[in-house]
Amino acid sequence: MVPLSWYLAVSALLFTIGAVGVFIKRNAIAIFLCIELMLNAVNLTLVSLSGFFGDVGGQLFVFIVMTVAAAEAAVGLAIIISIFRNRESLNVDEVDTLKL
């Protein structure tokens, strides 16, 4: 059978990749995608621990995390749309002053 530590290792790898992506990427939407990747890595940890210890609370937490991720994606994309409308650019390096 697949040991628990392998699932946790995959989750940690995905989280690392997502975190590095937030550092490296310059496009606002790509940064957002890496944030979603980090959330999914944490979901994998929660589900694997829930399966190994037989507690349904982990999966419920995943349910709530997915809902929060959906809400955050909606609001975040709305903000990105309004920034794009004002500045015509999605490069986070250029969106660094309050003045246009």
Partner 1 sequence: MEKASIIIFFVFAAAAVLSALNILLQRNPLYSALSLIVTLLSLSALYLTLHAEFIAVIQIVVYAGAIMVLFIFVIMLLNVPAAQPQIEKQKGLRYLAIPFAGILIAETFYVVLSIGKRSMPSVPAGTEAQAVGTTWSIGTSLFTDYLLPFEVTSVLILMAVVGAMVLARREGD
**Contact letters for partner 1, residues 6-45 (x by CB under 8 A):** xxxxx-xxxxxxxxxx-xxxxx-xx-xxx-xx--x--xx-
Residue type, 32: F
Count CB atoms within 10 A of the CB of residue 18: 20
Binding residue for partner 1, selected from 85, 97, 98, 100, defined by CB under 8 A: 85
Q: How far is the CB of 100 from partner 1 (least distance, A)?
A: 14
Q: Where are the alpha helices (DSSP H) in the chain?
A: 4-24, 28-53, 57-87
* Rounded Cα–Cα distance for residues 96 and 72 (Å): 22
Of residues 50 through 69, those in contact with partner 1 by CB under 8 A are 50-52, 54-57, 59-60, 62-64, 66-69
